[in-house]
């Protein structure tokens, strides 16, 4: 079978044509990115570093990114949100608790903090809504990223 030149050419050309077709369909039919419209809501995608004890959980939508982390500050434990764009406000909910407004802690409104009673357990979910230029971005993340690195396989 592999001595026939037609079979050899087909084996080489078929994968190339399939990859080219995949890109062509994406360009002709795929969704075009658009600028965020004021008054609209956009979802944030939980990145892979949220699924293991990395210390930081990234949520993103195109060029807008939020980084969630934990800070054991002198005044008590805090959840910290760092944004790629200046925010108008951030509301965060941990587990089944009521959503609470966070406070900006830097002059550029890129870092926001909220005091919490204790470090979250890995079974809780963090829900966050951030407002930027009239648009809302919402996302949800697990708290597994907050585990110490030596306990990464415990669940």
pLDDT > 90 fraction of the chain, expressed in percent and rounded: 48
Q: How many CB atoms lie within 10 A of CB 86?
A: 12
The model's pLDDT over 102-142, given as tens digits with 9 standing for 90+, comes to: 999 888 889 999 988 888 888 889 999 999 989 999 999 98
The model's pLDDT over 26-41, given as tens digits with 9 standing for 90+, comes to: 888 877 777 888 889 9
C-beta of residue 90 within 8 angstroms of C-beta of residue 130: yes
C-beta of residue 29 within 8 angstroms of C-beta of residue 21: no
Q: Which uninterrupted H or E stretch holds 8?
A: helix 5-29
Q: Which among 81, 87, 83 is positioned nearest to 132, based on CA atoms?
A: 87
Q: Which among 77, 101, 97, 76 is positioned nearest to 89, based on CA atoms?
A: 101
| Mean of all residue pLDDT scores within the chain | 87
Residue 8: pLDDT band by 50, 70, 90 thresholds? very high
What's the CA gap between 110 and 25, in Å, rounded?
38
Average pLDDT over residues 9-26: 93
Give the residue, 111 or 146, on which the prediction is more confident.
111
């Amino acid at each position: 079978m592999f001595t026939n030149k037609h079979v050899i050419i087909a084996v080489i050309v078929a994968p190339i044509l399939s990859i080219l077709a995949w890109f062509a369909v994406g360009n002709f039919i795929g969704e075009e990115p658009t600028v965020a419209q004021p008054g609209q809501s956009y979802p944030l995608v939980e990145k892979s570093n949220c699924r293991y004890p990395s210390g930081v959980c990234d949520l993103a939508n195109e060029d807008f990114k939020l980084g969630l982390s934990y800070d054991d500050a002198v005044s008590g434990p805090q959840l910290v949100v760092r944004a790629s764009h200046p925010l108008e406000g951030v509301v965060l909910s941990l587990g089944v608790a009521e959503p609470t407004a966070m406070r900006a802690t830097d002059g550029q409104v890129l870092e926001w903090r909220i005091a919490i009673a204790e470090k979250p357990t890995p079974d809780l979910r963090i829900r966050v809504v951030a407002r930027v230029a009239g648009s809302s971005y919402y996302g949800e993340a697990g708290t597994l990223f907050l585990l110490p690195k030596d306990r990464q396989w415990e669940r």
